[in-house]
């Protein structure tokens, strides 16, 4: 049996959360401790200070989600079919990689006009040229605006890019503009939230600090490609889309000092973990980092710098379920997810969380 089959599981539709818990730290937290006897403990996120130790370091992703879902129409030749574009990676001041639907209605050189029907937009029309057409509905869009002007134009026209398992059940609304941002959101550039950090509140952060747990920030702009299912039977054939991230020198030094004193590094979410692992050297020291990463973590990967992991519940046949299986063990995660499904945990972006200890 291949690995892609082993990371598949059945999830009842009613387990998919359509709204976050309120307050955010009231979400459930499944603590998973692998070992000869698997330990699974049902807690809530606000218990986190008692589950960590003084001297531990939580690492959060401070990226901010942009309204990256755009609707428009092809212009300039024949009929003008409607086009939906999901921006997923900024290339420079005026160009973005995007997934488009229906891709078959677009060719290189086509023009798309976004969001001018039924709206009074300060910046007038927002046009883009299909500069390149790739595989799987991915295109390079070159916009008529540049820099902060383009950012404003996208903000005026775009919708919050709710994941398809939520967007397929209800439309995005005004609540999502705040619900789908973490309290740490600062650096604009993501098209998906680092969802494990959605559970944090100012009260929880204050109690963590009182307990001696420090909080550190990095930036990874999450692209839609992170959440694409693994379709290849051989997982080595799966292509990860690169994402841009940064860890500054001060943060790297602080994390290395904490680890040297016996503290544990606890990424909040798989995005924070992936950037930390990309930046760590063979000896487990975090280096300053600025650039793209397409790290693909599968069972057998040797984790360099992650001592615990807080994360949400992930999609079947996804790179993220593969990552947590690499971290805590495939059989462990299969049993943990079976427990979560049987006991009513809420899944995916607005759902509950896990605190995973590493496989021995």
Model pLDDT for residues 317-346, shown as the tens digit of each residue: 888 999 999 999 999 999 999 999 999 999
Residue with tokens 């883009």: 128
**Do 235 and 296 belong together in one domain?**
yes
Residues belonging to the chain:
360
Q: Which of 158, 192, 212 is the last residue of a domain?
A: 158
Report the distance separating Cα 276 and Cα 339, nearest Å: 29
Tokens of 152: 């404003």
Strand partners of residue 291:
245
**Do 302 and 190 belong together in one domain?**
yes
**Which range marks the domain in which residue 96 is found?**
69-158
In CATH, what number is assigned to the domain containing residue 87?
2.40.10.240
Q: What is the pLDDT of residue 238?
A: 45
Residue 93 located in a structural domain: yes
**Do 239 and 102 belong together in one domain?**
no
Q: What is the pLDDT of residues 237-252, one digit of tens each?
A: 546 678 999 999 999 9
Q: What is the pLDDT of residue 172?
A: 85
Query: Do residues 345 and 30 touch, judged by C-beta distance below 8 A?
Result: yes
**Do 12 and 24 belong together in one domain?**
yes
Q: What is the pLDDT of residue 317?
A: 85
Q: What is the pLDDT of residue 228?
A: 59
Residue with tokens 């024949």: 78
**Do 284 and 335 belong together in one domain?**
yes
The model scores a pTM over 0.75: yes
**Do 224 and 352 belong together in one domain?**
yes
Tokens of 232: 């290849």
**Do 77 and 221 belong together in one domain?**
no
Q: What is the pLDDT of residues 203-235, one digit of tens each?
A: 999 999 999 999 999 999 998 765 555 555 555
Tell me which H or E stretch contains 65.
strand 63-65
**Do 204 and 315 belong together in one domain?**
yes
**Do 203 and 337 belong together in one domain?**
yes
Burial call 245-265: b when 16+ CB within 10 Å, e when fewer: bbbeeebbebbbebbeeebbb
Residue 170 located in a structural domain: no
Q: What is the pLDDT of residue 244?
A: 93
**Do 349 and 219 belong together in one domain?**
yes
Strand partners of residue 99:
86, 138
Residue 253 located in a structural domain: yes
**Do 37 and 143 belong together in one domain?**
no
Q: What angle do CA 295, 249, 184 make, to 5 degrees?
A: 70
**Do 86 and 134 belong together in one domain?**
yes
Residue 166 located in a structural domain: no
In CATH, what number is assigned to the domain containing residue 199?
3.40.1780.10
Residue 169 located in a structural domain: no
Helix (H, G, I), strand (E, B) or coil at 36: coil
Residue 172 located in a structural domain: no
Averaged over successive runs of 10 residues, the pLDDT of the chain (360 residues) comes to 66 93 97 93 98 98 94 92 92 94 95 70 78 93 93 89 87 91 95 95 98 98 69 55 93 98 98 98 97 93 97 91 95 96 96 96
Residue 23 located in a structural domain: yes
C-alpha dihedral, 233 to 237 to 242 to 245, nearest 10°? 80
Tokens of 352: 């509950």
Report the distance separating Cα 195 and Cα 166, nearest Å: 14
Q: What is the pLDDT of residues 148-172, one digit of tens each?
A: 999 999 988 988 888 888 988 998 8
Residue 76 located in a structural domain: yes
Q: What is the pLDDT of residue 142?
A: 97
């Amino acid at each position: 049996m291949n690995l892609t089959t082993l990371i598949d599981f059945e999830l009842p539709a009613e387990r998919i959360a359509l709204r976050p818990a309120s307050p955010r730290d009231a979400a459930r937290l499944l603590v998973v401790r692998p070992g000869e006897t698997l330990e699974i403990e049902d807690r809530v996120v606000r218990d986190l200070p008692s589950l960590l130790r003084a001297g531990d370091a939580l690492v959060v992703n401070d990226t901010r989600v942009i309204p990256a879902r755009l609707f428009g129409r092809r212009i300039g030749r024949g009929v003008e079919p409607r086009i939906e574009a999901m921006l997923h990676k900024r290339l420079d001041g005026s160009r973005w990689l995007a997934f488009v639907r229906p891709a078959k209605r677009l060719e290189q050189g086509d023009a798309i006009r976004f969001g001018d029907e039924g709206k009074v937009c300060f910046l007038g029309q927002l046009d883009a040229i299909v500069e390149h057409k790739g595989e799987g509905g991915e295109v390079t869009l070159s916009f008529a605006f540049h820099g902060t002007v383009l950012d404003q134009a996208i903000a005026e026209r775009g919708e919050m890019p709710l994941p398809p398992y939520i967007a397929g059940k209800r439309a995005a609304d005004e609540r999502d503009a705040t619900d789908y941002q973490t309290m740490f959101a600062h650096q604009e550039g993501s098209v998906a939230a680092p969802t494990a950090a959605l559970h944090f509140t100012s009260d929880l952060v204050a109690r963590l600090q009182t307990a001696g747990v420090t909080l550190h920030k990095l930036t990874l702009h999450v692209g839609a490609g992170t959440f694409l299912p693994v379709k290849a039977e051989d997982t080595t054939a799966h292509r990860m889309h690169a994402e841009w991230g940064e860890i500054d020198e001060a943060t790297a030094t602080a994390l290395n000092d904490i680890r040297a004193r016996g503290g544990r590094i606890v990424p909040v979410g798989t995005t924070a973990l992936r950037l930390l692992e990309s930046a760590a050297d063979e000896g487990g020291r975090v280096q300053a980092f600025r650039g793209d990463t397409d790290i693909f973590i599968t069972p057998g990967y040797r984790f360099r710098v992650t001592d615990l992991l807080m994360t949400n519940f992930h999609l079947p046949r996804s790179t993220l379920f593969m990552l947590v299986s690499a971290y805590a063990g495939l059989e462990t995660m299969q049993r943990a997810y079976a427990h979560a499904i049987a006991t009513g945990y809420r899944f995916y972006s607005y759902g509950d969380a896990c605190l995973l200890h590493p496989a021995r």
